[in-house]
């Protein structure tokens, strides 16, 4: 009875003309049928858009190009970050990097595929958020800074390293190749490098290092000199050195946000200080760093970089005064008046732009420059002379920076009156 009454009410409610026009009479039974299915799907989550979630984290492929080298008391590790999983599918994010280290008796080997020692210790774990700080174009670089105990407690041992990567706490890659690096304490970094500008060179001086982390430094085999160059600052440049004590750098000098950092290149090796850099140009800024090299049997160990010595080589040096100035009087003839033919030796400086010739008459103090433009050759002909007068000449050299040399030694000559012999000095 209750069900019949309920249906009667619904029939009356949805039998109106408006309800019929909206199709509600048919909609109600369909709604009753679909509503349980809708509730089930809502609870179960069926029909959710998008791809199904990945059920397991990918395992990165093993690193195969781990390499090591010692610079100063640091061991520098490099390798290529894995980009795909063992299923050869691309990794969607950077992995966590784990670096392991142990010490092993020295065998003379470098790289090895042998399994690592059981007592290998986890040196560092680098989470994905920090991996980008150690990587440049997929090349990962990590610096293991050794301390005194690493050397004193492992005399005759090498440092061995391997790497693992992971994308989850439970799934880790296979071990990388094992790299074995022979280690010895480096000499302390040079801290008093100085640079001085001279006419022909930039001269570097420093004190030989005396210590290592664990005692006296072995004899220095050689010194490696590095140099970077750039355009000088626009303001405040001087011709003197600007030596600074900064954090060591192995590649470049710190720069501003707008200026790229100049790169260091190996300039030369020298057995002892001082060192003269002759490969220089005026108007350039040069930055120097020096490393000492010690010899342990067959192993050569470079120190960390010295402090940086920076100089701007401005051309404020005066050229050398010309020499051997000669004033030869060419007597008058039937067609030409008398004149002086002047000549002098070529300047020994390699940056000479030209010469100036000056003349004064008699013993007076005033003098006149005879050339309107720099003379490109060491010769000049003075056609503007008169009989009965004494002339005194000097010549100067001018370099490409516009610096003018002191006067040459003066020479003099007189133009005689007709029928009088000439004199010159």
Among residues 351, 349, 317, 308, the alpha carbon closest in space to that of 239 is found at: 317
> What is residue 420's predicted lDDT score, i.e. its pLDDT?
61
Position 236 pLDDT exceeds 60: no
pLDDT band for position 334 (cuts 50, 70, 90)? confident
What is the arithmetic mean of pLDDT over 206-228? 96
Q: Across the chain, what does the average pLDDT equal?
A: 82
CA distance 120 to 144: 15
Is the pLDDT at 26 greater than 80, yes or no?
no
What tokens appear for 324 in the block? 């051997």
Helices (H), 23-111: 24-44
Express each pLDDT in 124-181 by its tens digit. Answer: 999 999 999 999 888 999 999 999 999 999 998 999 999 999 999 888 999 999 999 9
Least confident of 39-53, 87-101, 220-234, 286-300: 39-53
Q: Identify whether the C-beta of residue 85 lies closer than 8 Å to the C-beta of residue 60.
A: yes
**Rounded distance, CA 368 to CA 285, Å?**
38
DSSP annotation string for 266-287: EEEEESSS-EEE----TTEEEE
**Residue 402 binned pLDDT confidence (cut-offs 50, 70, 90):** confident
Query: Does position 8 have pLDDT exceeding 60, yes or no?
Result: no
Q: What confidence score (pLDDT) does residue 417 get?
A: 80
In 3-state terms, what secondary structure has residue 10?
helix
Write down the pLDDT at residue 33. Answer: 53
Give the range with max mean pLDDT: 76-85, 111-120, 224-233, 258-267: 76-85
pLDDT surpassing 60 at residue 342: yes
* Cα distance between residue 31 and residue 313, in whole Å: 91
Tokens of 421: 């012999």
Residue-level pLDDT at 324 = 96
* Mean pLDDT value across residues 247-262: 44
Q: Which of 74-78, 237-241, 358-362 has the lowest mean pLDDT?
A: 237-241
pLDDT of residue 1: 47
Mean pLDDT score, 206-215: 96
With CA atoms as reference, report the closest residue to 193 among 179, 209, 178, 182: 209
Tokens of 136: 């440049």
Distance CA 76, CA 116 (A): 19
Give the confidence band of 421 by pLDDT, cuts at 50, 70, 90.
low
**Which range in 13-17, 242-246, 328-332 is most confidently predicted, on average pLDDT?**
328-332
pLDDT of residue 108: 65
DSSP-assigned letter for residue 172:
B
Burial code of 151-167, b = ≥16 C-beta within 10 A, e = fewer?
beebeebbbbbbbbbbb
Dihedral of the CA atoms 270, 275, 278, 281 (nearest 10)? 120
Counting Cα atoms < 13 Å in the Cβ hemisphere of 327 gives: 27
Question: Cα dist. 80→34, 174, 210 in Å?
Answer: 57, 15, 38
CA 2 from chain centre, in angstroms, equals: 92
Average pLDDT over residues 24-49: 49
Q: What is the pTM of this model?
A: 0.63
Q: Which domains does the chain have, with CATH numbers?
A: 2-44 (no CATH), 67-182 (2.60.40), 194-313 (2.60.40), 326-415 (2.60.40.10)
């Amino acid at each position: 009875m209750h069900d019949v009454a309920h249906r009667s009410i619904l029939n009356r409610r949805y039998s109106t003309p408006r309800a019929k026009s909206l199709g509600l009479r048919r909609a109600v039974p369909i709604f009753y049928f679909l509503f349980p299915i809708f509730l089930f799907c809502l609870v179960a989550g069926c029909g959710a858009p998008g791809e199904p979630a990945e059920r397991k984290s990918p395992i990165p492929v093993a690193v195969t190009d781990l390499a090591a080298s010692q610079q100063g008391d640091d061991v520098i590790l490099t390798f290529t970050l894995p980009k795909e999983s063992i299923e050869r599918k691309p990794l969607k994010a950077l992995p966590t990097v784990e670096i392991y280290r142990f010490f092993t008796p020295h065998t003379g080997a470098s790289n090895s595929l042998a399994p690592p020692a059981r007592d290998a210790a986890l040196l560092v774990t680098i989470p994905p958020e920090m991996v980008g700080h150690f990587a440049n174009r997929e090349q990962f670089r990590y610096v293991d800074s050794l301390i005194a105990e690493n050397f004193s407690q492992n005399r005759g041992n090498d440092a061995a390293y391997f790497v693992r990567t992971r994308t989850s706490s439970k799934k880790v890659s296979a071990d990388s190749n094992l790299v074995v690096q022979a280690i010895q304490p480096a000499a302390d970094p040079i801290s008093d490098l100085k640079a001085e500008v001279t006419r022909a060179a930039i001269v570097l001086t420093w004190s030989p290092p005396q210590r290592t982390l664990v005692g006296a430094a072995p004899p220095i085999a050689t010194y490696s000199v590095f140099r970077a160059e750039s355009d000088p600052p626009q303001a405040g440049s001087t011709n003197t050195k600007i030596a600074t004590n900064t954090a060591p750098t192995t590649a470049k000098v710190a720069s501003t946000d707008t200026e790229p950092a100049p790169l260091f290149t190996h300039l030369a090796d020298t057995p002892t200080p001082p060192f003269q850099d002759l490969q220089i140009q005026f108007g350039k800024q040069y930055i120097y760093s020096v490393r000492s090299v010690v010899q342990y049997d067959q192993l050569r160990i470079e120190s960390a970089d010295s402090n940086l010595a920076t100089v701007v080589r401005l051309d404020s040096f005066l050229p050398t005064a010309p020499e051997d100035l000669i004033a030869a009087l060419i007597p008058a003839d039937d067609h030409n008046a008398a004149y002086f033919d002047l000549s002098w030796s070529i300047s020994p400086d390699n940056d000479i732009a030209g010469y100036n010739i000056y003349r004064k008459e008699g013993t007076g103090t005033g003098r006149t420059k005879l050339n309107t433009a720099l003379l490109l050759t060491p010769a000049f002909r003075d056609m503007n002379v008169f009989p009965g007068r004494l002339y005194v000449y000097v010549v100067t050299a001018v370099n490409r920076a516009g610096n003018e040399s002191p006067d040459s030694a003066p020479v003099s000559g007189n133009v005689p009156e007709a029928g009088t012999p000439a004199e010159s000095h």
